[in-house]
Structure 1
């Protein structure tokens, strides 16, 4: 029985179900920034108290408790702000709950790996499917202590998960921990950290509502870009418009999907908004989001009608190669590099730029499908599985698989290109085994990643990754089936006949040197004639001059 795991079938990834666009709020006055800061700080304090109440409810949460929380927030803000705060608290609790379950699975994998290796003799080598023992007694002792630590953590997390207890920090756990290490956190001063901490805990977001004016009653943006805010009850004295609203001097303009946003606003369809302050740049930003019906996916065979581009995802680049309908690589391989260093915005921009170049190339080639691996390193990042391979763990942790897949699906939906997800099993290994050496030459160096992109594209098309099948078992003729699988049997010209030698415009080479004295009988006794019908014809017997004279006189 083969030890290889079963490879999943490729499928066409579904399109996005939502849209989020962001822009800068420009031309704000000092009074506008003061009002935004006061509203954000007031609603942020209410959101912190509500999140604490939601976490205390745990698994006892119900619609009655949700309604009670909203009624408690209404006098201090408004009914709409109360609904936005309670919904955000519920979503944050649910996200923390999912992260807690993922952490439990990671701890279980680490405990199982350490327990297995501790049970093996020291120095025993591992197999392909199971790790061996530890290298020394010192390492065995250190891992035995770590096993007890992980078991205690696992028991504590399981108890919290069973009781519905989650640990959430508004503003971010990383920023909270940076308070104790200000010098290591980018040379921050205490005042700068305090400013980031307070701004990170502000609350300025509201979901939309269809049928209301411009799709949102709490944060309203008119089609001309004028932004107004429904002030909470304690801050209504700051209103400069009727019904307790404050109209900002600054305007909003969306460069990306601006027409689509304007159509929704004018039709009074729901649009959710979030206002964010960047403490580093000192700028205010606004994010608009709405739901869209996911586009209907086309059949797999229709997406592959004009070939496919196989893409291999790596830590610093995307390796791509175009394949025709028969699975043959055409043209030259392409590489789209990106740099995953710096801030989150910089890394995200690098990924978007690489995907934009990939989609532009696919559009220029006339290909309607891109095949990419369905990667998920959630279970592969554990420290215990790869042991001392710290660089490898850092490598797979730095690969933006989830973000890249979401970005590519969303961006490809606008260009009409389908994304085909394939199983990543053995693509790099088999691609290098069957395609790297045949496609390399003195003018082109084929890398392992280029070969993997061919394997990914062929798997999406349903072809085997290897280049040729085994010869027929009986003999080497084509009676039992053609030995190559590069072209389909119904492809035109696949079994076409070759031209005759006389049709090629080639003259027989003149014999020079030692070949002049050879006998004429050294010429081939048979020639391929009537190739169009596939028959072999025996040529007339070739005689020497002496043999001809002998035949003549006799």
Structure 2
């Protein structure tokens, strides 16, 4: 390797991804009466007010969070609801705070990356060209000036974030920051004030109940029987609305979970805990019930066992999955396959497109009889900052368009449902080596190969590094 070339970075070994233990299923609450709708709205509004107040106190409490303060908060909420509702509200507050805290730390890292890149580029002479892996100086004095102003802005934002982190304070908007901002831009959002108010109120309701093993059907607050009857333990101020003894209200709707219904029925019959959440979709004007629980964590199988039946190497791109089948020895078999998706439009459309493409990929894998899928363990946390690529907006949009987060959240569980193992592979150099070693040899008059198809082969063939006896103490050594 010449001195001018960038040295290769170490490549992480592939590994088998462990299946997530959480399960969530949802079904619509149909045939609700106007009285049912009224009661659900009153419960959601009352508990939502308590949840908002608890979150406001907890988010500004600094690091003064002890079991005593938790008990005091729960005791105050219990007087306005019940002990179990108070437990669900305080737990939801802790979960929301933890999520905001992780986002706060990620925001700090992003600001730090941007400041570091701006400082580097501002230190270079105007017009100086960059090298491979290192951007150069800015193109003009005007751009240099604007970037120097931006550096001051990022430093000011970082100071505020560091102060919040040091004091333990987070900024959370119940109902969502985007929806809150839409209030000031109703025309651009395509909403009237009444429509916005309905969405805002529904987003701030609280209708979640934690499960409890040993209790009847696994939940005392929102109880669902095997035949689908739903009863809710009303908060203390709403006890007068009860239509059953002991302050319970039974909905006229019956629930029927079509997906994982037998697994759910087995749990509640054995009185094992199941958490429930009732949600109102303002656009569709429908109520939904979500049931969730945890399954025992299963030990992931060894990597060699996952590869024993052959696998599919998948290259993730901004608009499609490029997949290639490999036999147990790593040889490509058949022709490449592509599974397109469109990530434009609304969030629901993007999610549906990605789910559809993954479903097609997994069905193809099951049909051809492989036992595993190898995907890139992508992480663009350092590469997504706008300061690194400057005016290269198209490349920034390409990086942002690759759905790394959604894939990580979906593909492991979807593959497990099909009985397939998921192998995560370091993405380093896979497009380069795939194009160099596989694109040309496999291209023929009957087979068209792209760079992405060849990258799928490189992904599927990646193996763990062999131990180095000189540096690895666990590697076998020759006899002396």
| TM-score, reference length from structure 1 | 0.82
Match of 1:166, SS state, is coil
Is 2:121–2:137's contact at 8 Å kept on the other side of the alignment?
yes
Q: What pairs up with 1:25-424 in 2 under 5 angstroms?
A: 25-185=29-189, 187-424=190-427
Is 2:13–2:464's contact at 8 Å kept on the other side of the alignment?
no
Which residue of 447, 456, 462 corresponds with 1:459?
Answer: 462
Deviations 1:498-548 (A, max 9, x none): xxxxxxxxxxxxxxxxxxxxxxxxxxxxxxxxxxxxxxxxxxxxxxxxxxx
Quote the offset at 1:342 in angstroms: 3.0
Distance in 1, Cα, partners of 2:212 & 2:119: 53
Quote the offset at 1:461 in angstroms: 7.5
Distance in 2, Cα, partners of 1:442 & 1:336: 22
Distance in 1, Cα, partners of 2:307 & 2:174: 47
- In the other structure, the counterpart of 1:425 is 428
Distance in 1, Cα, partners of 2:217 & 2:346: 34
Quote the offset at 1:422 in angstroms: 0.5
1:9 aligns with 2:24: no
Quote the offset at 1:355 in angstroms: 1.6
Quote the offset at 1:390 in angstroms: 1.7
Quote the offset at 1:436 in angstroms: 1.3
Distance in 2, Cα, partners of 1:343 & 1:231: 36
Match of 1:442, SS state, is coil
Distance in 1, Cα, partners of 2:163 & 2:295: 39
Distance in 2, Cα, partners of 1:189 & 1:308: 52
Aligned residues: 462
Farther-moved stretch of structure 1 (15-24 vs 429-438)? 429-438
Distance in 2, Cα, partners of 1:184 & 1:396: 27
Is 2:135–2:389's contact at 8 Å kept on the other side of the alignment?
no
Quote the offset at 1:385 in angstroms: 1.1
Deviations 1:473-514 (A, max 9, x none): xxxxxxxxxxxxxxxxxxxxxxxxxxxxxxxxxxxxxxxxxx
Distance in 1, Cα, partners of 2:446 & 2:465: 31
Q: Which runs of 4+ in 1 moved over 6 A?
A: none
Distance in 2, Cα, partners of 1:347 & 1:393: 19
Quote the offset at 1:454 in angstroms: 0.6
Match of 2:206, SS state, is coil
Is 1:214–1:222's contact at 8 Å kept on the other side of the alignment?
yes
Distance in 1, Cα, partners of 2:336 & 2:31: 47
Match of 1:407, SS state, is helix
- In the other structure, the counterpart of 1:520 is none
Deviations 1:43-79 (A, max 9, x none): 0011011111111212111111100000001111111
Q: Provide structure 1 residue ranges, at least 5 long, that are not aligned to the other structure.
A: 464-554
Quote the offset at 1:270 in angstroms: 0.5
Is 2:60–2:170's contact at 8 Å kept on the other side of the alignment?
no
Quote the offset at 1:445 in angstroms: 1.7
Is 2:32–2:252's contact at 8 Å kept on the other side of the alignment?
yes
User: Per chain length, whose mean CA-contact separation is higher, i.e. which structure has more relative contact order (CA < 8 Å, sep 6+)?
Assistant: 2
Match of 1:183, SS state, is helix
The RMSD of aligned alpha carbons is 1.4
Q: Which of structures 1 and 2 has the bigger CA Rg?
A: 1
Deviations 1:134-193 (A, max 9, x none): 1111111110111011111111110111011111100000000011111111x1011110
Quote the offset at 1:460 in angstroms: 4.4
Distance in 2, Cα, partners of 1:446 & 1:244: 67
Deviations 1:116-146 (A, max 9, x none): 0011111111111322111111111110111
Match of 2:441, SS state, is coil
Match of 2:108, SS state, is helix
Distance in 1, Cα, partners of 2:370 & 2:160: 52
Distance in 2, Cα, partners of 1:160 & 1:198: 28
Deviations 1:259-290 (A, max 9, x none): 00000010000101111100001011111110
Quote the offset at 1:427 in angstroms: 0.8
Quote the offset at 1:462 in angstroms: 7.0
Deviations 1:297-353 (A, max 9, x none): 111111111221100111121110001122221111111122223332332222222
Q: Provide structure 2 residue ranges, at least 5 long, that are not aligned to the other structure.
A: 467-480
